Amino acid sequence: MKQKILHQYFLYPAAILLWLLGVWAFFNWGVMQHLEHKVLDWHLRGLAQVEPPDPDIVIIDINEYSLEKMAPAYGRFPWSRATHARLIKSLLKQKPKAIIFDLLIVEPHKDKPDDDWYFVNTVKKSPNVYLAMLHLEPDNKEKKRGFLLKNLENIEKIRDDANDMASAPLLLPLPVIRKTGRMGLINAEPDSDGIIRRSPLYMDMEGWRIPSLPLKVAGDLGYKLPTVQKLRLLWHGPRFSYTYYSYYDIYHDIGRNKRPRDEFQNKIIIVGSTATGLGDVHTSPMNAEFPGVEVLATTIDNLKNNDAISSLPGYSVPALLAALLLSILIAFQRLWGPIKLGVLLLLTTTLIVLLSRWVVLQYFTHLPVVSVLIVTWLFYFLGTARGFILEKSRRQHVTSQFGRFLDPRVVQQLANETAPAINEQGQKQDITVLFSDIRGFTSLSEQKSAQEIVQLLNDYFSLQVETIFRHQGTLDKYMGDAIMAFWGAPTPQSDHVYRALCAARDMEQNLLNFRKTLGDTVDNFDIGIGIHSGAAIVGFIGAAAYRQDYTVIGDTVNIASRIEGATRDVCRVLVSQAVYEACKNRLKFKDRGEFALKGKAKKIRLYEPIWTTENRF
């Protein structure tokens, strides 16, 4: 009982500790985040199968085919900027919503200034053409101040305490194009495992906001802009899921008009590259080699259709969910123990939580639950392990405490019970006490050597103790040539009186069989058995530091001992009135009259049980 209480109260601090660990792990533990990401990636791949890409977002691809076909006339990439200018003018005739260059056009061509002017002038006059810029990581060896942010178009102050002298190392488009403000960052920021799951919408640089290219385009096109700094992407299939056109095919058709004239009408066109040699690839949840131009397309798609994955702020819901699951487990372990149905409960809960996560994700909301489930399973296994330890300790305790007094089979049964009905503390309860003493022991001692006497007693006691155990009695003690046993404790027995009588019957038969083995060498070897039933104090008594015995004390014990003494010259077995009243409908008894017992003022009526074949087990 004490161990059970300790186990139950252990659950509360363990649950609180693991809950705090789980909350901390959300923010600090890379392994936990890694597992969270893997489960999210798996769900996103499933969601991508039913969320196709926006057909109005298309990609003009500088692929290997285009590089090969363009090389004879335009040389190796990068081509002259006039090439891009002619492409822009051709596309503008179809009135697309936007033309976005996922290419860095930053340094002027010294050998082709006219081509650069042509390109710059074309972009300047085209209000829906956008170019990319890149933020560089500062060089520790040579820290450059970069561009003063307040002098750049499209970069705005977002805090009152913004640093007016803030600068950033940027790769910007050609100078005239910068003044249009139609440019944005294309920096990719993968997670710690190298996988891109979020796309930065802007960079906060000392109170100045540097927008990303997708954010700039989405803002100009009038789309609803999110307030988050990084957009958790909803993917729309594996790589090459968007509509791709070869750069060469589109450029080659300029002036030939063999393609549909409305092919790009109202489209968002992204000019980028998937050519292996240009190296614009990233790792995404969809593929290990995902084109960078398609990451840009996915971000614009999410902004256009407002279907990016939102995250719950501050992990409040996961923290509450973890607290709820731990509370359920505490209640479960208190009521049913750490093992019974526990795995089934946890598996069901885990499936429900994962299903809830999947359902929430259908509404484009990310619910991190992996840490919650890990903490919950860890708590369950911790409680179960402690339960195993306590259970093992309890079994060892039961075996060590009662192994000397009870039948080993009964001890094993008690040890195997989840909650055995044993009260080891002293208590008063109804029991039946049996005393058995050997008659003629003095003459026996005179006829035998000490070794023979000890061996004889051991053989005799072995028979009688086995009988007591067989009738599920508790051996109290040996007293020289006498045995004391009782029934009704440590576990309650509704028929303890009858069991004691049956044990006395078999003990008498044991005597008769044992006497045959002695032959004529021993005279007057007999026994007397006294039985009484009533209330007595039961418990472990003795010096706690040295030895304690599980025994019974009280007037019931004294009367049983006195009854055994009264059997001399009367019969082998005598029982009290209380025993007679309890079993008179099951056994036959002979009234032996009233006896004056030592220490009792009044005489007590005693009975002799009459054994018949009908009342044998």
What local confidence, expressed as pLDDT, does residue 141 receive? 44
Q: Taking each helix axis from N to C terminus, what angle separates 316-336 and 342-362, rounded to the nearest 10 degrees? A: 160
Q: What is residue 116's predicted lDDT score, i.e. its pLDDT?
A: 93
pLDDT of amino acid 416: 55
The Cα–Cα gap between 212 and 189 comes to 12
Q: How far is CA 30 from the centre of its chain?
A: 18
Comparing CA positions, the residue from 228, 213, 208, 215 lying closest to residue 168 is 208
pLDDT tens column, 46-83: 888 889 999 999 999 999 999 999 999 999 999 999 99
pLDDT of 5: 46
pLDDT at 392: 64
Q: What is the pLDDT of residue 521?
A: 60
pLDDT at position 552, please?
A: 86
Closest by Cα among 264, 198, 261 to 232: 198
User: Residue 209 in 3-state DSSP?
Assistant: strand
Provide the token pair at 519: 């032959």
pLDDT computed for residue 421 by the predictor: 47
Neighbours of 513 (CB within 10 A): 9
d(CA 143, CA 151): 20
Q: Measured between alpha carbons, how far is residue 541 from residues 145, 538, 546, 551 in Å? A: 87, 9, 11, 7
**Residue of 223, 176, 230 lying closest to 202 (CA atoms):** 230
- 218, 183, 214: which is closest to 201 by C-alpha? 214
Residues of the chain with pLDDT under 70: 1-32, 139-145, 312-344, 379, 381-426, 442-444, 520-523, 542-548, 613-617
Q: CA torsion sign, 81 to 82 to 84 to 89?
A: positive
